[in-house]
Structure formats: structure tokens, C-alpha cells
A and B are shown apart, each in its own frame.
Chain A
């Protein structure tokens, strides 16, 4: 799981992002239905939710791109409405779709950012970012020729020009291959190690679990849960054994034998609560043997955020649906 700087600071430290009673509707459609949360300085806060939950709207309001209907948002102590300029001077934003200039080279994109931010010794800043993001080889090529992963990296590099203290990442790894995703995670960890605060939205539970100090689960415009990954996992029933059977009659037989289990007729699976110790697992297998029931598949599950999401929202995460 790695180090999480700022992980144990809890609510005692000053929060750099404070949101209360945030509401936003487009016509009749309520997108954000009164959400509250705080983000501690130097931590990673992840907003987790399926497509259409309101994550991007939240990012847009927090980054001054959109006005909320109600509620207050303070970023680095400034109100996003009355202190727009001050907020903008301390934040960096990488949106869901790479906001890069396709007709410029990677280097020129970074140079443009450095010029607009009036960065001193821009050449050195640009060169260092190209090295850090492993873009030196393609630095002189037009971004139109870049792969999706390279664009995302460049986008984030552009966001880092001028060293913003607070960085917003809206689904930074959606659509990336596993390797690029890991690179992105590494970069996020490095940033936090340097003291940057990260607000990150994702629809991947694993990503939130990997990176975040605190997670807020957003579903249909409401925050249905908030806490550390461990706290959230404690919300759902513990370890269980999952058995899959060849047909319904086997499933029936097993369900009769194993008290306290829950069945899924469609998947032909049975979920049996267990403590995961070898003795109780052996007992379980022995019972199946006694009744000559053969399971196709046997696996031990410790609760992950997928279970949390399912339990909290009553529907599977997007990732789950996508399978």
C-alpha cells in the first residue's frame, strides 16, 4: 500500500479545501444535492463514484470554472466566488480530457504554460518536467502524434508548471493502459511527498484505495460515505468464502448444508461468512465432502472497496458493470 504522507493527520490539521452545502442543478436535474467535505493539507482526497455521479461538476465548481447554486467552497482560505483570482493562483487542474495544444510540440506546450505564468528560468523548468515525465524523446514532436498516455502525462506536466499547491485531477487514469496508470500513480505519490494537496476523482476503487488518505463516495449527487479506505472497508461484512457451482442443484444442496450463506442464482455462487483461518476453511470443505457436493471454484475474499461501493449504493461500481 506504500507510504501515505499526511495519512494520520486526520481532521486536526487545517483543511485547504472546505466545502459545505454544495448544490448544483441543470434545469430539473439535480447534479449535486448538498455535499460537504474537507481536504487536509498535503493529503490525497479521492472522490469516488460512477459516471454521472457529479464528480466533474464538483471539480468544475472547486476550480472556479462553474458557479454553484448554493453552498460555500473555500480553497486555500479563499472563497471560490469572491476570491476567484486568489484561488486560481494556487491551484492546478488536469481535466478529464487532455487540455493540450495538438499543434504545438510537447516542449512548446510546456513553454506556453511557463510564459503565461511568467515563470523565471522557464527553460530549466520545462527541461526538468520533460525529464521527469519521460517525454524528452518526443519533446520536439507535435502533440497530435502523441499516444493517450503521453497526452495525459503532458497534461499533468503542464499543470505542474509554476508549482501549484493544490492539484485537481479529474479521472486522471480513465482510458489508460495499466502501465501508464501505474506511472500516473507514482507521480501522484511523488507530488504528495513534496507537500502538494491532491483532489482526485476516479471511478476505479483500486485507484482510490492505492492513493487516497480519505475517500468520499459520491452517488447521484450525494456523498453516501466518507472516511479512510480502512474505515470504509469496516462498513461492510467481513471476510467470506465464495463458492461457484456447476448447476443449480449443486447450489441448492450447498445452500442447505451451509447455514448463514447467501446465494446468487444467476452467478451460481454462494457466499459463506468465514474468518479466513485454515481450520474453518478445512471444516467448510469437509462439510461439502460429506454431502458429496463439488464446487467448481473456491475463493477467500477480504472486503475491498468494491464491496463497500456495492453495499453503500445498492448497485455495483462502474468497473464492476463494465466486466
Chain B
């Protein structure tokens, strides 16, 4: 019991530390919170009308852009996880008997918190640009649940990538595929507009069911199978990320 409460307190202390880091790094703020908004403006006002998606473009793109708001903030996490491991502060924590899980928990919690801010910003912006939802309160809860699960899974996976990288620089690079992945989903344009090979990939990658389920919920037409697939992917990714980062952490520290 006392170890659990010690670990909880340590995790909270680490969360505060990591969140402060995030706020003090202008690049993190720009990438995490501003970049998705800039992308939204770009897509809606510059490119959007060139895509025929069967509805107003803001209506189509908002769920995908919420996902981008999650992934764009991840590079900062990977770099900061790796810096902790490579710049010696981890030894200080170890010698101080800081609970081992707290270091990882702190990074995950700070990342999810950062994602939440970015998601709130993008949803606010979407409404300002004319996005309208016919979702019920229940649908909204469902959508937020899936988005939160995605942020949580992405955070654990990113912590694992940051943990596994050799240097902070390569940690930053390791998450690039994760940032590109939503573009190869139905986030920006429907899958059936893509070439055959890409379309196949798009249909089977995790972001497609996640985006489609959120899209359905926000449109007031929820789809149970998409939601189930989305949650299954999130659970799987979170578990892999958790086990992988814990294994790497135990080996390195």
C-alpha cells in the first residue's frame, strides 16, 4: 500500500516536471498545439475545395485533424524521454529511490495532458470554422472516450520509442512514421480516392477505424464495429508500448 501511494506521489511529481518541460519548449508548443490548427486552416481554406468528399470539407476533416493534434505533439515526448535516459538525470532519480514506474507514468500523463490541450484547441477551431455536429451527449462521450484511448495508446508507444532510441535526435526521428500514418488513413481524404496499394494499407491500419468511429459518432451515426476495432487497436498499442518501454527501462536504468 505504501509503495503504491509512494509511486502515485512520485508519478504526480514527475507529471508536473514533464508538463513544465513541455510548456517551456517553444518547438513542442508549436508542433503540438499550433501546427494542427495551421494545418486545419490550410486544408479548409486552401486545399479542401479541391477534394470532393461528399460533404463540407470541415465536416469531413475534423475527426482526422483531431488525430493529427495527438500525433503532432509526440516528437517532444520521445525527445524528452530519451534525454532523461541519456543526460544523467535518471541516475539521480535511481539513487534517490524514486519509484521506477513514476518516470514512465509521468511522461505518459504529461503527453496525454498535452494532447488534451491540442485536441481542445482543434475542436474549438473546428466549430469556429463552421463544423457542426449532430451528435447526442452519449455520442460525444463515446467520441471523447475513443480519442482519449488513442492519446493514451500513442503516449505509451511514443515513450517506448523514446526509450529505445540511442540519442535524443534519433528519438525525434523515430516518431516521424507515427506522425505520417494519419495521412495514409481516411483522415484527409476518403480511402477510395487513393491508389490501390495505398488503399489496401489504409483499410487495415489502426488510424482508419479510429477516425471512422469518431467521424460516425460526431455525425450522430455511430458504428459499433468501427468503435470496437478502434478500441481493440488502442488497447493493443498501449499494451505493446507499456511492455516495451518497461523492458527497455529495466535494461537501461
Interface of B is mostly: helix
> Known: A112-B17, A115-B13, A116-B98. Contact between A99 and B91, CB under 8 A?
yes
Number of A-B pairs, beta carbon distance below 8 Å: 52
Partner of A113, one of B9, B20, B96: B96
Count residues of B near A (Cβ-Cβ below 8 Å). 19
7 CB-based A-B contacts, threshold 8 Å: A88-B96, A97-B88, A99-B89, A100-B89, A101-B17, A101-B89, A113-B96
A:99-137 near B, CB below 8 Å: 99-101, 103-104, 108, 112-113, 115-118
Cβ B96 vs Cβ A103 within 8 A: no
Complex interface: chain A residues within 8 A of B96 (CB): 88, 113, 116-117
Cβ A65 vs Cβ B94 within 8 A: yes
Cβ A93 vs Cβ B17 within 8 A: no
Complex interface: chain A residues within 8 A of B97 (CB): 85, 88-89
Give the one of B10, B25, B97, B98 with max A CB within 10 A.
Answer: B97
In the complex, what distance in Å separates the CA atom of A108 from the CA atom of B88?
A: 18
Give 13 new A-B contacts, CB below 8 A, not counting A93-B92, A100-B89.
A63-B95, A64-B95, A65-B94, A88-B94, A88-B95, A89-B97, A99-B88, A99-B89, A101-B17, A101-B89, A116-B93, A116-B98, A117-B96
Is residue A35 contacting chain B, with contact meaning CB distance below 8 A? Answer: no
The closest CB in chain B to the CB of A93 belongs to B95
Residues of B within 8 A of A (CB): 9-10, 13, 17, 20-21, 24-25, 87-89, 91-98
Partner of B92, one of A85, A89, A118, A158: A158
Complex interface: chain A residues within 8 A of B92 (CB): 93, 95, 99, 158
Contact with B along A129-171 (1 / 0, CB 8 A): 0000000000000100000000000000010000000000000
Count residues of A near B (Cβ-Cβ below 8 Å). 26
Cβ B13 vs Cβ A116 within 8 A: yes
Give the distance to chain A from B178, nearest Cβ to Cβ, in Å.
Answer: 23
Give the distance to chain B from A83, nearest Cβ to Cβ, in Å.
Answer: 12
Is residue A31 contacting chain B, with contact meaning CB distance below 8 A? Answer: no
Complex interface: chain A residues within 8 A of B89 (CB): 99-101
Give the distance to chain A from B221, nearest Cβ to Cβ, in Å.
Answer: 45
The closest CB in chain A to the CB of B18 belongs to A103
In the complex, what distance in Å separates the CA atom of A88 from the CA atom of B94?
A: 9
The closest CB in chain A to the CB of B95 belongs to A93
Cβ B91 vs Cβ A116 within 8 A: no
> Known: A103-B20, A116-B98. Contact between A93 and B13, CB under 8 A?
no
Give the one of A63, A98, A104, A112 with max B CB within 10 A.
Answer: A112
Is residue A91 contacting chain B, with contact meaning CB distance below 8 A? Answer: yes
Partner of B20, one of A85, A93, A108, A116: A108
The closest CB in chain A to the CB of B24 belongs to A103
In the complex, what distance in Å separates the CA atom of A168 from the CA atom of B162?
A: 30
Give the one of B13, B25, B95, B97 with max A CB within 10 A.
Answer: B95
Cβ B95 vs Cβ A65 within 8 A: yes
Complex interface: chain A residues within 8 A of B13 (CB): 112, 115-116
Contact with B along A71-101 (1 / 0, CB 8 A): 0000000000000010011011101011111
The closest CB in chain A to the CB of B92 belongs to A99
- Nearest 9 interchain pairs by C-beta: A99-B88, A99-B92, A103-B21, A88-B97, A115-B13, A99-B89, A93-B95, A103-B24, A97-B88
Complex interface: chain A residues within 8 A of B9 (CB): 118
> Known: A99-B89, A115-B13, A116-B13. Contact between A104 and B20, CB under 8 A?
yes
In the complex, what distance in Å separates the CA atom of A85 from the CA atom of B95?
A: 9
In the complex, what distance in Å separates the CA atom of A63 from the CA atom of B92?
A: 10
Give the distance to chain A from B172, nearest Cβ to Cβ, in Å.
Answer: 16
In the complex, what distance in Å separates the CA atom of A115 from the CA atom of B21?
A: 17
> Known: A95-B88, A112-B13. Contact between A103 and B25, CB under 8 A?
yes
Cβ B20 vs Cβ A91 within 8 A: no
Complex interface: chain A residues within 8 A of B21 (CB): 103-104
